[in-house]
Structure 1
Amino acid sequence: MTAPLRFERHGAVALVTLDRPERHNALSPELICRLDDAFAEIRDDPELRVSVVTGAGEATFCSGGDLELTLPLLTGARAPQDDWDRRLLDDPDILHRTTLKGVTFDKPVIAAVNGACLAGGFELMLGTDIRFAADHAVFGLPEAKHGLIPFAGALVRLPRQVPQAVAMELLMTGAPIGAGAARAAGLVNRVLPPAEVLPAALETAERIARNGPLALAEIKRVVTGTSGLPLDQAYALETEAMGRVMRSADAREGPAAFMEKRNPAFRGA
């Protein structure tokens, strides 16, 4: 049996592919655990500076939690049957880590949304920093239709990323929207023909990976960490980040490389 997740290295870029196209890339317990392992590897490997997350096939990015395997396991309607099931039940924080909810993950993450992006897949996308979508992609949070709620970050993240009225309509009706509407709402950066989505995401990841890794980490940490804070507290965090960056070797290397007309050799320190 093939693994439901593919992990590839493209230089300093990690490509993570949810690979259950026959199940619309639904998040089974095994896929959730393997995604957790992939993010841990990216986080801990200094050679990997940016990651791209996508789905296998042309129809679906991710349809959310597997309604046959994962949701019944979490509600107690299904008993654990293998080590993946038991790992998910023994460590419920895996669900948070795999959507980057409430965790420190300072490296940039790009979503290449190749198709339908629903429920937990939508929440995974909300945890990313930059998003490219195929023009046929649809986006939705249908949990309320099933008597459930989104619990992987959407209730908090979505009203901070789009106007509250837009967020409430998506959350309460469960109705999907198209890629154009998602772009208009600010949920995605670009809408592209399907064949261009992953190349655009990888090209952007490679451009980002050439930048200073310490600077990227501090940019992400401050932007995400100051959301909702009063201005004085937010500015204080920005000033702390400035101090950390300006004391670094990278901050000396970048301007020197520019003046010497060479590529900088950033070390992330």
Structure 2
Amino acid sequence: MGGTEHLTVQREGATLVLTLNRPEARNALSLPMLVGLHDGWLEADADDSVRSIVFTGAGGSFCSGMDLKALAGNGMAGEEYRDRLKADPDLHWKAMLRHHRPRKPVIAAVEGPCVAGGTEMLQGTDIRVAAESATFGLFEVRRGLFPIGGSTVRLQRQIPRTHALEMLLTGRPYSAREAAAIGLVGHVVPDGTALDAALEIAERINSCGPLAVEAVKASVYETAEMTESDGLAAELARGWPVFDTADAKEGARAFAEKRPPVFKRA
């Protein structure tokens, strides 16, 4: 498994856990973090034994966004990774899920601040769990900056436009309960339990047919901006092949035999 000094990679059964690990800076983005995230997403995609991904942060924070001290000229941590960015100028956008969508479901487990770039990365995840004291927000306009991680496009597609515009234009913080009320997160749990709750969701996903899960996720995103008729046609194209898999037959057989299915991604 990969990882860097600011990004840890662990396995929990069939789940790959990616943890932002720069707690002294509230997990502000750094070059080692971005490189580790990029490699972690690709590792999950390439490993068929990984069925889900949990994305979280260490030390009671998710991510406080860009390292503003570094932006002001004090130097970005991990300059030795600069050659990776030169080799792939799009690496940071892939790392932040702006230009990459993992084929496995991604579940965010948020404790503490998830603001600016943290809220932007959150929009690239599929299922979101927040602790009671988690905070969200796009603070860029307060600094004279632009939320260029995708928020002016994605946020209005994920929550009502009036809420998206308020978040984008005021730069104010949102509590976990507010975030749940507008649909930015799906679950609010007691502090300190977000990771456990996310892993529970991941385990439910892991018990399902992996080919079916990946096809369903792909279909949801593929059809999101289509007309209904085009979307239904695309759904059939994605869905029918799943019925011809050995896993589909195993699922039916296991149901008839009243036992858990043993899926083999076949």
The TM tier, using the shorter chain, reads over 0.9
In 1, the alpha carbon distance for the partners of 2:243 and 2:20 equals: 38
Partner of 2:66: 65
Distance 2:246 2:228 in 1: 29
Q: Is the 8 A contact 1:80 1:86 kept in 2?
A: no
Please say if residues 95 and 152 of structure 1, whose CA atoms lie closer than 8 Å, have aligned partners that are also in contact: no
In structure 2, what is the equivalent of residue 7 of structure 1? 9
- Is 1:112 the counterpart of 2:113? The answer is no
Structure 2 residue 210 is matched with structure 1 residue 242? no
Within 5 Å, which residues of 2 pair with 1:150-229?
A: 150-229=147-226
Partner in structure 1 of residue 53 of structure 2: 51
Separation of aligned partners in 2, 1:90 and 1:17:
24
Q: Which residue matches 2:18?
A: 16
Match of 1:148 in 2: 145
Unaligned runs of 5+ in 2: none
CA contact (8 A) 1:222 1:238 kept: yes
Amino acid of the structure 1 residue aligned with 2:181: A
Taking structure 2 as the reference length, what is the TM-score of the superposition?
0.93
Number of paired residues? 263
Q: For the residues of structure 2 that align with 1:105 and 1:79, how far apart are their CA atoms?
A: 27
In structure 2, distance between residues paired with 1:214 and 1:122: 29
2:211 maps to amino acid: L
Contact 1:135-1:180 at 8 Å conserved across structures: yes
Q: How much identity, in percent, do the aligned residues show?
A: 45
Segments of structure 1 that go 5 or more residues without pairing to the other structure are none
Tell me how far apart the structure 1 counterparts of residues 77 and 65 of structure 2 sit (CA, whole Å).
Answer: 19
Partner of 1:85: 82
Q: Name the aligned partner's letter for residue 239 of structure 2.
A: M
Q: Helix, strand or coil for the counterpart of 2:98?
A: coil
Offset at 1:155?
1.6
SS at structure 1 position matched to 2:181: helix
Asked whether the equivalents of residues 32 and 77 of structure 2 are also in contact (C-alpha less than 8 Å), the reply is no
Letter of the structure 2 residue corresponding to residue 265 of structure 1:
V
AA aligned to 1:44 is A
Q: Does the 8 Å contact 1:119/1:141 carry over to 2?
A: yes
Which moved further from structure 2: 17-26 or 99-108? Answer: 99-108
Q: CA deviation at 1:223?
A: 0.7
